[in-house]
Structure 1
Amino acid sequence: MTLVNEASSSSVGAPQSFRTLVTGASGFTGRYLVDKLLARGHTVIEAVSGGDQPDTPTRIRIDITSPDECRRVLDSVRPDYMVHLAAISFVGHADPLDFYRVNVLGTLNLLEACAAIGHVPRKLLIASSANVYGNVSSAAIDESFPLNPVNHYAASKAAMEAMVRTWFDRLPVLIARPFNYTGRGQAVNFLVPKIVSHFARRAPSIELGNIDIARDFSDVRYVASAYEALLDADVASEIVNVCTGTPYSLREILAAASELTGHELEVQINPAFVRQTDVKMLAGSPAKLHSLVPSVESIPFTETLRWMLGA
């Protein structure tokens, strides 16, 4: 089947009103990205899972593990842009097979749906994860580093990337590899929100695992800005890190939160929270991102913590 880029067939100089489909729109990242896109004048169609509310012109239910559902939604929306955020993202998720059903096969279903209905969006941005790098002894991991996933979440994202690359010659796909990021609204089963919630309610103690693991933590508002800018950038068939280049250990985050709140928190190390597959240090190089979207500036992590504590 010959795919036709319908978005490029509009007359030159005609006013543009882009329709952008965002999967996982009701999730942590999706809510911030939708706001960014709406502010830029996009008509955003939020693709969400579950719920019993009827579909609306801008909100539609989808089960990405169903090829039929993906074809139905893509044929109905025929978006100019698509951002695929829907995923099982919590490393400790109970059923390992869910990572592959959702993260790999779900993504494949969306790509195959585009082919099945003969629609080529202007850009498809697909969110992967820097967890695909695994344990790397480098303070600045760039996109050329080999992949070495150490858990099912990371393995599913690496498999997803390998599959998506086979579509580079058929669809204008860009894979974003975000490093860790956080912000208001992230679930408290993630580490930084857990720490923030304990300081915010001035709890006497907190149970954590290894507090010396270090991550390149970004602000979710920065990540959403990077995704929005990458949609506009003249780049496809590429993989791009989304990160700041500055790692913070949990020990440093605890100290910063203590300084911001004036509250001392007793840290109790729970061996049950120490996973042997934990990546010890993960910090990325944002050089490629900066070259593609130089106007997007990161937010200092202490400001992110201050913002979260003020919620």
Structure 2
Amino acid sequence: MRVFITGIDGFVGRHLAARLSASGKAISGSCLRGDFPVEGAERVVPCDVRDGERIKRLIEEARPDAVVHLAGQTSVAESFRQPAATFAINAGGALNVLQACHAAGVGQVILVTSCEVYGNPDPAAGPIPEAAPLAPISPYGASKATQDILGGQWWRGSGLPVVRVRAFPHAGPGQDARFLFPSVARRIALAEEDRGSEIIRVGNVDVTRDLLDVRDVTEAYEILIEKGIAGDVFNLCSGVGRSLRSALEALCGQSRRPLRLETDAGRVRKTDFDWMVGDPRRLADATGWGPRRAWEETMRDLLAEWRERIASGAMELQGEDR
């Protein structure tokens, strides 16, 4: 089976390429930088998904059996600073990929959106099902909702075999330090080397999220590719809520020196929501998938990676956006 991955050099893309290659699939993909070495990929080519003609040509040349669309602008905070660019990349880029897949006769398209499409749900209603209304509260969430709607439209209107996946937050080794958990892991590793403060400043962490390990996430994508399900939409989640504070304490508790979390008002998002937990039953019923890794394992592996980076003097990814 040939699989083409957009955004193959990203956090999830690299994990997915390695996983699919290990199971015998032929992997190629695109990224902004191009010619970027990705474990398991036979070919990686430069492409901005806003360039519809180029992505069409690349998918035609690759002749994939399946396409996984991961490329996009992934920061909620950045979406408030650059809403037009966020829509151009996430919504416009998805439209270009869908058109290219239709033209090339691709047999399976995995369109990855986000739980941010649900906006600010009511915890009293329980875990969020796929039938819940799309009510985003950020430009990022709105761009992913548009992407989600486009995927459904191409299935219903043109028969393109699209599966929409509303992914809930995930972390693990290889994640950019612009995001919360790798940012804190990096600061722990620096503090252990006496190169950083014992105080770790964060935004509002007294909120509840449904958290996954990226390796469980890529397992779900592989199962969806292999089962060939089309036309459906799935939450990719655990169904279990965890406070960000307790999730971070699982990370900080592994530090070799005492650390403490402090809330920094400057890091608190005005549009943040208190609770986001998904209903995983539809995906479980259709595929048998369920998360297998404990959160403590995810944090242990993430911190081990950052300890190695800091000790070796490898490039330290910057940024603190959650």
The TM-score with structure 1 as length reference comes to 0.88
Aligned equivalent of 1:161 = 148
Aligned equivalent of 1:72 = 57
Query: Structure 2 matches for 1:134-153, cutoff 5 A?
Result: 134-138=119-123, 139-153=126-140
2:11 is equivalent to residue 28 of structure 1: yes
Residue by residue, what CA displacement relative to the aligned partner does 1:170-196 show, whole Å, maximum 9, x if unpaired? 200001111000011111111111222
Which shifted more, 247-256 or 188-197?
247-256
Q: CA RMSD in A?
A: 1.9
**Amino acid across the alignment from 2:11:** F
User: How many angstroms apart in 2 are the aligned matches of 1:51 and 1:171?
Assistant: 27
Count of residue pairs brought into register by the alignment: 291
Residue by residue, what CA displacement relative to the aligned partner does 1:78-107 show, whole Å, maximum 9, x if unpaired? 211100000100111131111110111111
2:213 is equivalent to residue 225 of structure 1: no
Instruction: Could you tell me which runs of 5 or more consecutive residues in structure 2 were left unpaired when the two chains were aligned.
Output: 192-196, 306-322
**Amino acid across the alignment from 1:108:** L
Residues 254 and 64 of structure 1: is their aligned pair in 2 closer, same or farther, counting only changes over 3 Å? Answer: closer
Query: Structure 2 matches for 1:104-253, cutoff 5 A?
Result: 104-115=91-102, 117=103, 119-138=104-123, 139-169=126-156, 170-202=159-191, 203-253=197-247
**Amino acid across the alignment from 2:251:** A
User: How many angstroms apart in 2 are the aligned matches of 1:236 and 1:51?
Assistant: 30
Q: Give the superposition deviation at 1:52.
A: 6.8
More helix by share: 2
User: How many angstroms apart in 2 are the aligned matches of 1:305 and 1:50?
Assistant: 29
User: How many angstroms apart in 1 are the aligned matches of 2:257 and 2:208?
Assistant: 22
User: How many angstroms apart in 2 are the aligned matches of 1:134 and 1:189?
Assistant: 22
Q: Give the superposition deviation at 1:297.
A: 3.6
User: How many angstroms apart in 2 are the aligned matches of 1:216 and 1:297?
Assistant: 11
Moved >6 Å (runs of 4+): none
**Contact between 2:203 and 2:265, CA under 8 Å: does it hold in 1?**
yes
The TM-score with structure 2 as length reference comes to 0.85
User: How many angstroms apart in 2 are the aligned matches of 1:100 and 1:184?
Assistant: 28
**Contact between 1:229 and 1:296, CA under 8 Å: does it hold in 2?**
no
Which shifted more, 42-51 or 259-268?
259-268
Which shifted more, 202-211 or 26-35?
202-211
Q: Give the superposition deviation at 1:254.
A: 3.0
**Amino acid across the alignment from 1:62:** C
User: How many angstroms apart in 2 are the aligned matches of 1:259 and 1:271?
Assistant: 24
User: How many angstroms apart in 1 are the aligned matches of 2:249 and 2:151?
Assistant: 41
User: How many angstroms apart in 2 are the aligned matches of 1:179 and 1:282?
Assistant: 9
Which shifted more, 297-306 or 260-269?
260-269
Aligned equivalent of 1:280 = 274
User: How many angstroms apart in 2 are the aligned matches of 1:154 and 1:42?
Assistant: 32
**Amino acid across the alignment from 1:100:** F
Instruction: Could you tell me which runs of 5 or more consecutive residues in structure 1 were left unpaired when the two chains were aligned.
Output: 1-17
Q: Give the superposition deviation at 1:262.
A: 5.4
